[in-house]
Structure 1
Amino acid sequence: MKEITVKCPAKINLFFNIIGLDERNYHLVHGLNQSISIYDILTIKINNTNSINIKCNDSSIPTDEKNSIYKAAKLFLDYTKITTGLDIYLEKNIPTEAGLGGESTDAAGTISALNIIFNTNLSKDELNKISYQTSCDVPFCIEGGSKEVKGCGQIVIPWQNPYSYYLVITPNIGHSTKEMFNLYDNKITKYKKLKPTIGHNDFHLILNNDIKELITKIKKETKAKTAMLTGSGSSIIAIFNNKDELDNAYNIIKNELNNTYKIAKTQNVSGIEEIKK
Structure 2
Amino acid sequence: MDKRILLKAPAKINLSLDVLHKRADGYHEVKMVMTTIDLADRIELRAIDENKIRIVTQNRFVPDDERNLAYQAAKLLKERYEVNKGVEISISKVIPVAAGLAGGSSDAAATLRGLNQLWGLDLTIDELARLGAEIGSDVSFCVYGGTAIATGRGEKIEHIISPPPCWVILAKPTIGVSTADIYRNLKLDEVNHPDIEAMVQAINNQDFKSICENVGNVLESVTLRLYPEVNHIKSKMINFGADAVLMSGSGPTVYGLVQYQSRLQRIYNGLRGFCDHVYAVRILGNRNES
Q: When the two structures are superposed, what TM-score results if normalisation uses the length of structure 1?
A: 0.89
Note if 1:232 corresponds to 2:232: no
Cα separation, 1, equivalents of 2:271 and 2:151: 33
Instruction: Quote the residue 1:220 is aligned against.
Output: 239
Counting only pairs closer than 5 Å after superposition, residues 54-65 of structure 1 correspond to structure 2 as 54-65=55-66
Aligned pairs (5 A) from 1:77-226? 77-160=78-161, 161-184=163-186, 187-189=187-189, 194-196=194-196, 197=199, 198-206=214-222, 207-208=224-225, 209-222=228-241, 224-226=242-244
Greater shift, 90-99 or 211-220, is seen at: 211-220
Shift of 1:159: 2.2
Matches of 1:252 and 1:212, distance apart in 2: 16
- Greater shift in the superposed pair: 88-97 or 156-165: 156-165
Deviation at 1:220, TM superposition (A): 2.5
Question: What is the Cα deviation at residue 272 of structure 1?
Answer: 6.5
- The residue number in structure 2 matching 1:263 is 278
**Using a 3 Å threshold, how does the CA distance of structure 1 residues 202 and 147 change in structure 2: closer, same or farther?**
same
Residue 193 of structure 1, CA deviation? 6.0
Distance 1:19 1:193, change over 3 A: farther
Please give the alpha-carbon distance, in whole angstroms, between the structure 1 residues aligned to 2:74 and 2:192: 37
Q: Which runs of 5 or more residues in structure 1 are unaligned?
A: none
Q: What SS does the aligned partner of 1:169 have?
A: strand
> How far apart are residue 205 of structure 1 and its match?
1.8
| Range with bigger deviation, 234-243 or 130-139 | 234-243
Q: Deviations over 1:225-260 (max 9, x none)?
A: 210110001100001123333233213332xx32x4
Greater CA drift, 80-89 or 240-249: 240-249
**Structure 2 counterpart of 1:179, which letter?**
D
Q: Tell me, in whole angstroms, the C-alpha distance in 2 between the residues paired with 1:123 and 1:273.
A: 9
Residues 20-59 of structure 1 correspond to what in structure 2 (within 5 A)?
20-59=21-60
Distance (Å, rounded) in 2 between the aligned partners of 1:150 and 1:264? 28
Is the CA contact 2:99–2:251 (under 8 Å) kept in the aligned structure 1? yes
TM-score (norm 2): 0.86
Partner of 2:211: none
Deviation at 1:175, TM superposition (A): 0.9
Task: For residue 190 of structure 1, report the CA deviation from its aligned partner.
Answer: 7.0
1:13 matched residue in structure 2: 14
Paired residue secondary structure (1:109): helix
* DSSP 3-state at the match of 1:106: helix
Alignment-derived partner of residue 210 in structure 2: none
Question: Whose relative contact order is higher, 1 or 2, with alpha carbons under 8 Å and at least 6 apart?
Answer: 1
Aligned length: 268
Letter in 1 for 2:244: T
Aligned position for 2:207: none
Amino acid at match of 2:231: K
Q: Percent identity?
A: 27
CA contact (8 A) 2:11 2:38 kept: yes
Shift of 1:273: 10
Deviation at 1:145, TM superposition (A): 1.1
The amino acid of 2:256's aligned partner reads A
- Is the Cα–Cα contact under 8 Å of residues 173 and 230 in structure 2 kept in the other structure? no
Where do 5+ consecutive residues of structure 2 fail to align? 200-213
Instruction: Give the superposition deviation at 1:262.
Output: 0.7
Counterpart secondary structure, 2:219: helix
Equivalent residue letter for 1:202: V
